Structure 1
C-alpha cells in the first residue's frame, strides 16, 4: 500500500520535473541570440568534463524530452502557444512509455 503511494508520488514528481525543464527551455529559446543563457544552450564547450559529472548536456536532455534536434526545438519554442501544445503532447507520450528519440 505504502509502496504504491510512493510510486505515485515519484511519478508525479518526475512529470513535474520534465514539464519544468521544457518550460524553462522555451523561456530561454525565446530570448535574444546574444543572450548568454541562449549562447550556452546552443554552443559547444571544448574539452572534457570533470570526473563524476553527467555526460549528458542540457541540449541532450532537451532532445530526449522533446524528440527534436536542438535547432528545431528552439524554432518551435519561439511560438509560445505551439510550444505549450508540444510540451503537453510530449509529456503524455513520455508518461505512456514512449521514447521520443
Structure 2
C-alpha cells in the first residue's frame, strides 16, 4: 500500500482508506492479480514440484526433526499453509501432488484469494 500511495501521490495525512487506494490503482492500471494470490500459487506449485521429485528438498519438507516446537504462539509451517489453502489433509495432498494434472487443478482452485468481508462501517 505504501508503494501504491507513493505512485498516486497520496499522503497518509490525507486519510484515504486502503480500499479507496486499491480502487484507484485498479482504475489506473486495470484488473490485476492480488499479491497474496501470486504467493499462494507459487508456494503450491513449488510444493507439488518438490513432492514429485526425489531430492533433498523433499526430504527436508516431509522429514521430521527431533524435538518440540517453541513455547508461545506458533509460527505457521509450510504444511499449515498447504493444509489451510487446499482444505486437504497432508497425506491427500501428497497423493494428489504425485499426479501433475490433479495438482494443477488443486492449485487453480486453492490459489484464488478469498474475498474480504467488508467492515460494518462500509455496509451502511
> Given the two structures, how large is their TM-score scaled by the length of structure 1?
0.71
Counterpart Cα distance in 2 of 1:45 and 1:60: 16
Deviation at 1:41, TM superposition (A): 1.4
Deviation at 1:86, TM superposition (A): 1.1
| Structure with bigger gyration radius | 2
Structure 1 runs not aligned, ≥5 long: none
Counterpart Cα distance in 2 of 1:43 and 1:69: 16
Deviation at 1:2, TM superposition (A): 6.6
Tell me the C-alpha RMSD between the 2 structures: 3.0
Structure 2 runs not aligned, ≥5 long: 1-15, 27-32, 117-124
Counterpart of 1:24 (choices 43, 46, 53) is 46
Name the counterpart of 1:79. 99
> Given the two structures, how large is their TM-score scaled by the length of structure 2?
0.60
* Pair 1:46-2:61 in alignment: no
Name the counterpart of 1:95. 114
Deviation at 1:54, TM superposition (A): 5.4
Counterpart Cα distance in 1 of 2:66 and 2:75: 14
- How many residues align? The count is 93
Deviation at 1:16, TM superposition (A): 0.6
Counterpart Cα distance in 1 of 2:35 and 2:67: 34
Q: Is the contact made by 2:48 and 2:103 (CA closer than 8 Å) also made in structure 1?
A: yes
Counterpart of 1:66 (choices 69, 83, 86) is 86
Counterpart Cα distance in 2 of 1:44 and 1:17: 25
Counterpart Cα distance in 2 of 1:64 and 1:90: 9
